[in-house]
Chains A and B, each alone.
Chain A
Amino acid sequence: MNAFLNQLPIGLSIGAVLLLVALGLTFTFGQMGVVNMAHGEFLMAGAYTAYMLQSWAGRQAVLVALPVAFFVAGLMGLVLERTLIRRFYGRPLDTLLLTWGVSLILQQVARDLFGAPNVQVKAPTWLVGGAEWSGIRMPYARMFILALAVVCVVAIWFYLARTKQGRRMQAVMQNRELAACSGIATSRVDQRTFFIGSGLAGVAGVGLTLIGPVGPALGTYYIVDAFLVVVAGGLGQLRGAVLAAFVLGLLNSYVEYWSDASLAKVVVFAVIIGFLQIRPQGLFVLRSRKLT
């Protein structure tokens, strides 16, 4: 029972990390169908933004970096969309190879700019350490990431459901042709979607500096998990991504506690494969009358 309680916050915090890295992808991959392998490198860009800002923001760089990283990664995404991806819409396999190439280039660029070794991002002093109640441990950095994930989800939900631009985005996703007929500038909506999706990756990257390495390979550690969450949750489904992230996080934490890290990974993959056999469309599916 104690082990059960102990692993609960850990599962939730793993889920929060998964959710945070996958959120941006629910936009670019989920909504637009772009298999963006360079998503991991936008995480990396966010993390390096925090590193760069340290020189004047000092230990609070992580906080300052959240909005800045959103714009830095967002702009990178926008440039990628404008120059390359828009020429590949509707060709998922080509896009996959294209963005994978871009991701390798970005990794090498980071290596040339910042050096191959990891760099150090100092956490604010109030995020170092953790709380403990009767054997249940919860580091402050984890709580911060959990809070960050919640804030991002609420912000996205508000944007999608309550703003004009967000509703246009949903319209384009549900039926691009009809949206275009109704006078929505779909290509501008695409740009905005890509900007937000990439920007969210930047924000996630800043959060990751608190718990993981900051180096050129950062993106590669999270990209597969991010895709798993989006696919298991159902493409373009915010609630699906949230649910999938936390289910996978909890599953991972319990299996790892009773076995080991390698086996936990195997089990999570096996469960997802099994689940997709039964529900290839993911947890939630968008119902529309579109003919595709």
Chain B
Amino acid sequence: MRKISLGRRTARLAAVSLAVLLAGTGCASDKSTAKTGSAGADTSGDTVKVGVLHSLSGTMAISEVTVKNSVLLAIDEINAKGGVLGKKIQPVVEDGASDWPTFAEKAQKLISNDKVAVTFGGWTSASRKAMLPVFEKNKQLLFYPVQYEGLESSPYIFYTGATTNQQIVPGLDYLKAQGKKKIFLVGSDYVFPRTANKIIKKYAEANGMQIVGEEYTPLGHTEYSTVINKVADAKPDAVFNTLNGDSNVAFFKQLRGTGIKAADMPVLSVSIAEEEVRGIGADYLAGQPVAWNYYQTTEGPRNTEFVAAYKAKYGADKVTSDPMEAGYNSVYLWKAAVEKANSFKPDDVKKACDGVSIDAPEGKVTIDGATQHVYKTARIGVVQPDGLIKEVWASPGPIKPDPYLKEYPWAQGL
């Protein structure tokens, strides 16, 4: 029997407002318990602890779990060959839970409780910006493996993904070479797309291209018919897509419904790699260009080795992607820098890092000591019907990282 003292309608309305509130914070507070490592000395003994901090739950888990996997793969490989400076690497895995304050909190925990020598982690710019003060304050190192919007150079962060002049600018060069003059910008409403689009607009101005529209949608948005209608009405030659996460699935599924073909109006994406192609469906993406530094199909013996090792460890149906490769490289770059410095101390590693180079799956990557970014080869690829990405254009060699675009005259005043 129901007994309600409060007026039933009032109670229900209160319940609904609470429901809306809770749903809004749903992903953010989707925390899972993380195992706590025991406190230990930094590098005494025959192991060295390193932190691995990615979202293993919540909305970003979709992407970050794969990077965590490739970081652990690199650690396994290094341990099998004797470790770093004679010490085995012991990973301490923490869950950032897609929640930026959690990233900061877990980073602090890794530093003060686990006393890790270095941390590999982060995906969204928001998580990086949340962790940045923690690493700077403690003077500890973070390796960040994802392409980002540039305009940042923290002394305690190593950026092993592409900065803008290694991904977005080459992407625009490619569109220009294809004779695309009218560009429509579609992006999620947060820091990366807005900064990227600022750069794109400057580039367009200097290169005789025209921006015919600019649309932002909230993160997690799934209703794209109106945006697509606007795109179709503006009749651009190409779309530059900086949407992030699940929104891409909705956008491409709904774009296909309008009969707009990749051949007539390509959508160049900078956040869709092999893993995302699998979630969206190659049906919807075949023929669309993407901009990265690495594809599973990138040629070279080192990549054949990496892909085989990844599949052997995590399953033959798994794919490898650019951020995963950058995560994998991070561990090797750190190892090379530590060995050059002959020390695990962050400041020694920083001093030794300039010019440290490894033979990575994407080719040779070298740390630029001044910016702590890496030299990377830019590659434009086209999604194939089998879900893999085929390279159609590559920069002649690794591009020098230039996070502030100082060497590009059109980018002054950004």
Contact = CB atoms under 8 A, between A and B. Distances in A.
A93 B15 contact: yes
Given A93-B18, A111-B61, A120 B259 contact: no
A37 B232 CA distance: 37
B11 A217 contact: no
Contacts of B229: 6-7, 10, 137, 257
A151 to B, nearest CB: 20
SS of B interface (majority): helix
A108 B32 contact: yes
Nearest to A137: B258
Contacts of A132: 258-259
B2 A89 contact: yes
A260 B189 CA distance: 11
Contacts of A223: 19, 23
B2 A176 contact: yes
17 contacts: A40-B23, A96-B18, A108-B57, A117-B62, A117-B63, A117-B66, A118-B246, A118-B278, A118-B279, A217-B220, A220-B23, A227-B16, A228-B20, A252-B223, A257-B230, A262-B218, A280-B9
Interface in B208-234: 215-218, 220-223, 225-227, 229-230, 232-233
Given A6-B233, A17-B223, 5 more contacts: A14-B223, A116-B62, A118-B279, A213-B246, A231-B13
B225 A142 contact: yes
B12 A92 contact: yes
A53 interface: no
Contacts of B63: 117
Interface string A86-116: 0001101101100010011001100100011
A122 B275 contact: no
A235 B222 contact: no
A84 interface: no
B188 to A, nearest CB: 10
A118 B223 contact: no
Contacts of B11: 92-93
Contact of B283 (A100, A122, A260, A262): A122
A130 interface: yes
A252 B18 CA distance: 23
Interface in B1-26: 1-4, 7-9, 11-16, 18-20, 22-24, 26
A212 B255 CA distance: 11
Contacts of B258: 130, 132, 137, 139
Contacts of A253: 225-226
A261 B65 contact: no
A17 B278 CA distance: 24
A256 B218 CA distance: 12
Q: Which 4 A-B pairs have the closest CB atoms?
A: A139-B257, A118-B279, A213-B249, A90-B2
B50 to A, nearest CB: 22
A51 to B, nearest CB: 11
A284 interface: no
Nearest to B275: A117
Contact of B14 (A7, A93, A176, A227): A93
B250 interface: yes
Interface string A205-227: 00000111111110011111001
A183 interface: no
Interface string B158-179: 0000000000000000000000
Contacts of B58: 217
A80 interface: no
Nearest to A128: B256
Given A108-B32, A116-B65, A122-B281, A235 B225 contact: no
Contacts of A261: 189, 215-218, 221, 223, 226-227
B47 interface: no
A119 interface: yes
A35 interface: yes
Contact of B281 (A116, A120, A262, A276): A120
Given A89-B2, A129-B259, A35 B16 contact: yes
Contacts of B283: 122-123, 128
Contact of B24 (A103, A118, A224): A224
B27 interface: yes
A280 B3 contact: no
Interface string B49-85: 0000000111101110110000000000000000000
Contacts of A6: 229, 233
A167 interface: no
A214 B3 CA distance: 40
A246 B229 CA distance: 19
Contacts of A116: 56, 61-62, 65
A182 interface: no
Contacts of B43: none
A277 B401 CA distance: 56
A265 B216 CA distance: 12
B280 interface: yes
A115 B56 CA distance: 11
Contacts of B3: 90
A262 B57 contact: no
Given A33-B12, A93-B11, A224 B279 contact: no
**Max chain A C-beta neighbours (<10 A), residue from B7, B23, B24, B63:** B23
Contacts of A117: 62-63, 65-66, 275, 278-279
Contacts of A103: 26
A210 B225 CA distance: 13
Contacts of B256: 128-129, 139
Nearest to A93: B15
A7 B226 CA distance: 7
A60 interface: no
B62 A215 contact: yes
A65 interface: no
B125 interface: no
B205 interface: no
A26 interface: no
A213 B245 CA distance: 10
B225 A33 contact: no
Contact of A227 (B20, B59, B215): B20
Contacts of B59: 217, 220
B15 A224 contact: no
